[in-house]
Amino acid sequence: MATVTSNENNSNTTLVLTGDERKTMQRRRQIFNRAGITFFALAILMVWLMPLAYGGVTSLKTKDQISDVEAPILPAKAQNYTWEGEDYDVYIVPQPNGGTENWALVNKGRQSSEFINPNNPEAGLIEWEGRWRTLERTRVLAPTWANYPEAYNSIAFGRLMYNTFFYAFVGMVGAVLSGAIVAYGFARFKFPGRNILFMILLSTIILPPQVTLVPTYAFWVNVGLVPSWWPLLLPQFFSNAYNVFFLRQYFMTIPPEMEEAAKIDGAGPIRTFWSVILPQSIPALVAISLFHFFFAWNDFFGPLIYLAGARDQVPITVGLTFFNGLYGSQPQLIQAASIMTLVIPIIIFFMAQRYFIQGIVITGNK
């Protein structure tokens, strides 16, 4: 039981709260705080998803709907009504009783016009006093799903997706394999200068890629591998500092007793790495795989440089740029192609998000 005393206008008021009442107040406060945080998170999410939603809506419109300044946000077309073999625009016409009806405009006038009621065409023409230009057109929801197959066929979408999968998958295998091997060496083997080498490796993270762009490109040109996939795939098999650091931190959370038990059973370092370390590191390996897969899927600058002159090998990012140059006046097709490129990464992420989040969380804890 709790007692609350307040002094107002020289009078004392005592409020007594029981244990159940205190718990109820605390529970309400917790619900209110959670609701506020949830609302704030949803608001941020909606703002972040607005460009994606706009792209999806635009991909379902026609060119005329996009150019119409009076068209709504959703893909809708103006409604027409056929009367006596002619098509007439349908407008929302205010009525004397305060309501509105949808009538087709037959004869346009300055101060009065003639309409036909689609629900009662037998009544003939209806004269309406007012300026018809002030009326709003009636529209019906009409998504243009044909934009997707048209965009698919216009840019050889299947070939671009194959190139993108090839680049992302092969590079992912190389990045994960090399990163795991190097991280295992730094996490479990003791050799002279280990810490110094690890710090030198980490220092390469702060090196801007623009610094090494020209000499790297000159090297691949001199060895005759431009244009080709080799400059994009071979470096992935030599690891990078971020993957090594990420996997090393995860490997250090694995109890050494498991490796000692494997040694007692006669397993060497390679067998221990393959049979003990890797199976215990699935979440971290999945996280690294997704990191590189999404990076390669969205990579534009690398393929643009090293695949210049080989348009049949470019991934979807570069292919969309070419498509944008050819169909710049068809934004609905560009948005449809862009939406199609998002489907596969989203599916892959949601299928592997449990392992991805687990790998991120455990790596941050020692």
3-state SS assignment for residue 84: coil
Angle formed at CA 121 by CA 119 and CA 122, multiple of 5 degrees: 125
Helix axes 282-298, 157-188, angle to 10 degrees: 140
Give, for all 366 residues of the chain, the pLDDT tens digit. 444 444 445 445 555 557 677 778 888 888 888 998 999 999 998 998 888 888 889 899 988 888 877 788 888 888 889 888 888 999 999 988 888 899 999 999 888 899 999 988 888 898 988 888 889 888 888 888 999 998 888 888 889 999 999 999 999 999 999 999 999 999 888 888 888 999 999 888 888 888 888 999 999 999 999 889 999 999 999 988 989 998 998 898 888 888 888 888 888 888 888 888 898 888 889 889 988 999 999 999 999 999 988 888 999 989 888 888 777 778 888 888 888 888 888 888 888 777 667 655 555 444
> Could you give the 3-state DSSP secondary structure of residue 109?
coil
Q: How far apart are the first and last CA of the chain?
A: 43
Residue the block writes with tokens 């002094």:
7
Return d(Cα 1, Cα 17) in angstroms, integer: 5
C-alpha angle with apex 187: 183 to 192, nearest 5 degrees?
105
What the block records as the tokens of 25 is 């107040």
Q: What is the pLDDT of residues 125-177, one digit of tens each?
A: 989 888 888 898 888 888 889 999 988 888 888 899 999 999 999 999 999 99
Rg of the chain in Å (alpha carbons): 33
What is the per-residue pLDDT for 6?
46
Residue pair 337/155 in contact (Cβ under 8 Å)? The answer is yes
CA-nearest of 146, 80, 110, 362 to 247 is: 362
Residues forming beta bridges with residue 87, ordered by sequence position = 82
Residues in CB range of 91: below 8 A, 6 or more apart: 102, 103, 104, 105, 115, 132, 135, 136, 137, 138
Residue type at 187 in one-letter notation = A
**Both structure tokens of 356:** 């991805």
Put residue 309 in one of left, alpha, beta given phi > 0 → left and psi -120 to 50 → alpha. Answer: left
- 3-class secondary-structure state, position 240: coil
> What are the tokens at 114?
């003639």
* CA dist 191 → 72, 80, 196, 197, 217 (Å): 68, 81, 11, 10, 34
Question: What pLDDT is attached to residue 366?
Answer: 46
Q: In whole angstroms, give the CA distance from residue 48 to residue 35.
A: 20
